[in-house]
Structure 1
Amino acid sequence: MLDNALRKAAAVWIRPDGHEPRLVWALWRDGAVLVAVGGTEQQVPGLADGVTCTVTVRSPTTHSHLVDARATARRADLDDDAAQALRAARLNGRPEWADVYRLEPA
């Protein structure tokens, strides 16, 4: 269920432990959610290497709740293919981020 939901989602809700949830643009790739933050990208207070968070996926058509999953954030060094895929997933020009995190489901 999680894999299928994340393949279709362009945005997910992320709630780092101890912080409020944030709606973020994300990309499901290689079994993890990639989230770009900082720079001209979204800000996610509390998101840091090793932080546990809850990822909530809603239906892209009805916005109904589909699934919650616990995940651990890991700072990612992207290869060229992953960086290009993340840029292509964004629809608002050329994104510039400070960090990218892989949210790896528990």
Structure 2
Amino acid sequence: MLDAALRKAGAVWVVVDEHPARLVWTVWRAGALWVAVGPDEQEVPGLSDGVRCQVTLRSPTTHSHLLDVPAVAHRVEPDEETMAALAAARLNASPRWAEVYRLDPA
């Protein structure tokens, strides 16, 4: 169920420590959520390599709460396919990220 739900999610809420939740565009690949962040891109306060975070998925139609998933963030250098997938997920903007994180469900 987790795999199917996250595979369909284009955006999720991410919370790190006591920071406010942020809605971010993501891509589900290789059993993890990939998120691109940076000053000219979406920001996730507190997100860094090795940090624990919480991912919240809401229904795309009703916006009701579906599930919470604890995850661990890993800063990565994405391969070309992942970079293309991240760029495609940003339908209304050209990618300008500074960092890419892989959020592995814990």
Q: TM-score, normalised by structure 2?
A: 0.95
Q: Which aligned pairs between 1:15-54 and structure 2 lie closer than 5 A? A: 15-54=15-54
SS at match of 2:54: strand
C-alpha separation in 2, matches of 1:63 and 1:5: 14
Alignment root-mean-square deviation, CA: 0.9
Consecutive unaligned residues in structure 2, runs of 5 or more: none
Consecutive unaligned residues in structure 1, runs of 5 or more: none
- Residue in 2 aligned with 1:66? 66
Size of the aligned set, in residue pairs, is 106
Q: TM-score, normalised by structure 1?
A: 0.95
Structure 1 outlier segments of 4+, above 2 Å: none
Q: CA deviation at 1:75?
A: 0.2
What residue identity is the alignment partner of 1:55?
V
- Residue in 1 aligned with 2:86? 86
Equivalent residues of 1:8, 1:60 under 8 A apart: no
Range 16-25 or range 74-83, more displaced:
16-25
C-alpha separation in 2, matches of 1:4 and 1:80: 24
SS at match of 1:85: helix
What residue identity is the alignment partner of 1:3?
D
